[in-house]
Chains A and B, each alone.
Chain A
Amino acid sequence: MLPSGAVWTAALVFTPLLAALACFLAPRAANWIGLLAAGLTTLAAATMVPTLMTDGPLRIAVGGWGAPLGIDLYADGLSAVLLLMTAVVGLGVSAFAPAYFGAHPQQRPWFWPLWLILWAALNGLYLSADLFNLYVMLELLGLSAAALTALSGGGPALNAAMRYLLVSLLGSAAYLLGVALLYHAHATVDIALLGARIEPGMLANAALAVMFAGLMLKTALFPFHFWLPPAHAGAPAPVSALLSALVIKGSFYLLLRLWLDLFGDLSRLLPELIGVLGAIAVLWGALQALQQQRLKLMIAYSTVAQVGYLFLAFPLAGGLNGTTAWRAVVYLALAHGLAKAAMFLSAGALLRFAHHDRIADLDRAVHRLPLTLTAFVLAGVSIMGLPPSGGFVGKWLLLEAAFQQDRWGLAVVVLLGGVLAAAYVFKVVGYAFTPTAIAQEGGSVPLSMQWSALLLALGAILLGFAAPLLLPLLEVGAPFEPIVGMPS
């Protein structure tokens, strides 16, 4: 008899996967099947929380075969918070999608199966305990994301999807090369076993180099961000929300796991280099966002900047109170997920309303679409890092770590990035209050589209108050401490 924790954990992968098949076979019922699957998957993610808090991290040998031969699923606090964030964003996007695709009926039969496969891949990624299973999930994630990018079918979208697919395949090929090297040296792909066996040397350094290069490419860290803005801006609004809020976090999570469990002690130089790239990304992405004329491109460049923040933890992690820096960026990743999904969904609602997304022609959108603009501003508050939002908690922790280690440069980057974010968010708000010379006609926007964006944005704000609940959950299984001993 399986413990119930194991059943729920398996449901996190199998519910969206089976629902994807059902949506493919019965496209007419896709909306209902999709929403039902979204609800069940969210329930499964929520059920994990009490289990983890009372029993500690979960390790499940699928089919009764244990590591090193079988496939293990493993869930600790880090997996759990990301699974929860994925579920909340997934639920929001699923609630947005039926009304959105009501106006694009030819895209709907493809959206649901692809999105549910993407969800299964993300959950599988957060639960996998071995490097090869992670590779398969990474590829599944990349393929479904690239297919979703192409959904709207126009020339620019197909171009962006093609580029995204090539980049994504190259990234996972590099990762697989690293897996091959590690397997050769240590004869296992189980992360916990590898963590105990790995030792500094040329082979480990080579594996570190190719795996990090591949995953940084997939996470769009500057200067590997070139593929992101056209892909994220060209996709349909719900897909943009998924790509920016969730897909990027998948490869970032993998980077984080590899660093924490395998490579953390190998290099002193690499974390500094990654930190510099992150700092450039924060400033460069925000400056680019400020210059965009199109709302969706602006939000996409904002993602480039926010991805930069996630990498600022690497140079801080080795120093005094370094685990605070990890907590900070995980919190930033959660806050960014909710806020960026809300932003892209409100951009989708504005696009439906005005039939364009030129920032300068928003023409009093604030009066005519107040719910959507409120969602945009609340999400912006979290992106800027103002209290009491989730973004604020993340930035506060990051600044705390930077101050404790006298890293004033990094602290300045964190603050400056927030100021620039405020500039581009208020630019949009300013135009939304201003009437244009020629008054614009506006179409009607279904309430489900407006409310799903607003609720996600409220979630990003509430995340600021949820810190006392989420930070202890994050500590389950001590993901940020070095591995001691081998699993039984």
Chain B
Amino acid sequence: MSSVLVLALTGAGLTLLGLHALIVKAHLLRKILALNVISSGIFLLLAGLAARTPGGEPDPVPQAMVLTGIVVAVAATALALALLLALRSATGRTRLDDDNGQ
């Protein structure tokens, strides 16, 4: 099994795992973590797929994309955590209220 395939499959696996947790877990901290797992999976996929020719130099462009992606993910996580804190201090809840959802 080539290393590209291992990285790609691990990335896809992480993404699916994160998606499952995002949908199933009710606690918002777990949902935020799940989103981070999804992002990590996609970054791994992006970096792993960069080695397009076996044995050749990996392409640097995806590395730059992953770096940008990490910056975005950190900012998004910070906003999500801040919202979670605000939600808890306003309502005492740490999960989404589904009654006014649909």
Contact = CB atoms under 8 A, between A and B. Distances in A.
A150 interface: yes
Nearest to A288: B102
A183 interface: yes
Nearest to A131: B65
B17 interface: no
Contacts of A96: none
B37 to A, nearest CB: 10
Interface string A168-180: 0110010011011
Nearest to B71: A136
Chain B contact patch, size range? 35 or more
B91 A155 contact: yes
Contacts of A156: 97, 100
B80 interface: yes
B39 A173 contact: yes
Contact of A177 (B15, B59, B80): B15
Interface string A152-178: 011110111111011001100100110
A315 interface: no
Nearest to A168: B76
B100 A139 contact: no
B83 A139 contact: no
> What is the predominant secondary structure among interface residues of chain A facing chain B?
helix
A226 B100 CA distance: 10
B62 interface: yes
B49 A158 contact: no
Interface in B37-76: 38-39, 42, 45-46, 49-50, 52, 59, 61-62, 65, 68-69, 72, 75-76
Interface in A115-160: 132, 135-136, 139, 143, 146-147, 150, 153-156, 158-160
A184 interface: yes
Given A170-B22, A173-B38, A187-B59, A159 B100 contact: yes
A22 to B, nearest CB: 21
A170 B83 contact: no
Nearest to A226: B102
A184 B97 CA distance: 40
Which of B15, B19, B79, B84 is packed against the most chain A CB atoms within 10 Å? Answer: B79
A139 B87 contact: no
22 contacts: A132-B65, A132-B68, A136-B72, A143-B79, A150-B86, A153-B86, A153-B90, A155-B87, A155-B91, A162-B28, A162-B80, A162-B83, A163-B96, A165-B79, A169-B76, A177-B42, A180-B49, A183-B61, A183-B65, A184-B50, A184-B52, A227-B101
Interface of A: 132, 135-136, 139, 143, 146-147, 150, 153-156, 158-163, 165-166, 169-170, 173, 176-177, 179-181, 183-184, 187, 226-227, 230
